[in-house]
């Protein structure tokens, strides 16, 4: 989002042993530690972070048959490109997503009918409480409910590397997302060439301003700022909202709630100081229109949250990570 204050010390370890060494050296009360990947899902307060920041830059990548193991610092879209070049399919619908490999299990990143947890074989996790590096299987990660995992909003565990089990062949995994299938000219459940799926996904993401472009303020965001709420019971006033089953209840569309509470895409340019607004293409994306501070973003996010709550009795929480800031 191009906001946030300074850091005390910045480290960019380029190998897994360097990552482990730094994790063991920092992280007490006098020397707090923040671990980050690409920063695409991070919002930091104007005061910044006075301790150490470890920005994952490890780039180890290994392909063994259908198993692909990538260090946490590998750029996600570069991994997608590499797997396609190696004749592997499975990640093509996740093309164009910013950030690094280590962040994908945290968010259980998903798009266009594909979730990373569906393809996850195992991962290496460093436990900052015990000082141990462990190999986890997906069942330990707490996936299930929308965009949730044991890693989210917790600083205990650090994902060091991830192994995905992909497929080999000239066809993608079955396309279950209706709009993507339509754009590809196939039926839902059909397949296509993985390269065609990638290009179609990138086209769809560009149309929603969800591919990074430094010249386009609609992309100065963390993607979806608000998470789709999962509720035990849908309030009467939100009965018309699109809903989906979830292991913890019913998932509602945050974008629909925001739009129908009076905040359509592009809202905000006439609100406050005009430095923060919703993307012109995507009601879930809070964007920096140039020169905004974190305080500006928090005030605007609170304005949207309060408006949705007043209209639908639903309080929206953040999908992004908020560091030294809140709304």
Give catalytic residue positions.
147, 224, 319
Tokens read off for 3: 């906001």
User: By the 8 A CB rule, do 159 and 141 touch?
Assistant: no
- Neighbour count for residue 136 (Cβ, 10 Å): 16
User: By the 8 A CB rule, do 40 and 103 touch?
Assistant: yes
CA atoms within 13 A of residue 294's CA, in its CB half-sphere = 18
Tokens 């570069």, residue?
Answer: 78
Q: How far apart are CA 241 and CA 137, in angstroms?
A: 35
Q: How far apart are CA 109 and CA 86, in angstroms?
A: 22
Strands (E), the chain: 7-11, 33-36, 42-44, 49-55, 61-64, 67-71, 88-89, 110-111, 114-115, 120-127, 132-136, 157-165, 167-168, 230-231, 243-246, 249-252, 276-278, 286-288, 321-323
């Amino acid at each position: 989002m191009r906001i946030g204050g300074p850091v005390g010390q910045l480290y960019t370890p380029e190998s897994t042993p360097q990552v482990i060494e730094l994790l063991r050296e920092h992280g007490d009360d006098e020397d707090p530690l923040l671990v980050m990947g690409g920063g695409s899902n991070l919002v930091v307060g104007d005061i910044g972070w006075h301790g150490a920041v470890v920005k994952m830059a490890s780039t180890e990548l290994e392909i063994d048959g259908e198993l692909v193991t990538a260090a946490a610092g590998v750029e996600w879209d570069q991994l997608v490109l590499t797997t396609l070049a190696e004749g592997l399919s499975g990640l093509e619908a996740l093309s164009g997503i910013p950030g690094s490999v280590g962040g994908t299990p945290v968010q259980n990143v998903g798009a266009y009918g594909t979730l990373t947890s569906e393809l996850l074989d195992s991962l290496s996790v460093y436990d900052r409480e015990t000082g141990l590096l462990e190999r986890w299987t997906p069942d330990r990660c707490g996936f299930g409910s929308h965009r949730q995992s044991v890693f989210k909003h917790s600083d205990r565990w650090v994902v060091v590397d991830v192994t995905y089990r992909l497929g080999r062949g000239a066809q993608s995994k079955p396309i279950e997302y209706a709009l993507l299938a339509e754009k590809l000219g196939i039926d839902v459940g059909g397949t296509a060439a993985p390269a065609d799926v990638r290009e179609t996904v990138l086209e769809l993401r560009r149309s929603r301003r969800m591919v990074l472009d430094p010249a386009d303020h609609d992309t100065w965001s963390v993607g979806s700022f608000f998470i789709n709420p999962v509720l035990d019971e849908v309030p009467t006033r939100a009965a018309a909202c699109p809903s989906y089953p979830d292991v913890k209840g019913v998932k509602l569309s945050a974008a629909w709630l925001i739009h129908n509470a009076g905040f359509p895409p592009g809202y905000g340019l006439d609100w406050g100081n005009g430095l923060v607004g919703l993307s012109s293409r995507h009601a879930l994306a809070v964007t920096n229109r140039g020169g905004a501070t974190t305080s500006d973003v928090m005030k605007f996010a609170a304005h949207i949250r309060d408006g949705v709550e007043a209209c639908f009795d639903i309080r929206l929480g953040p999908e992004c990570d908020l560091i030294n800031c809140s709304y």
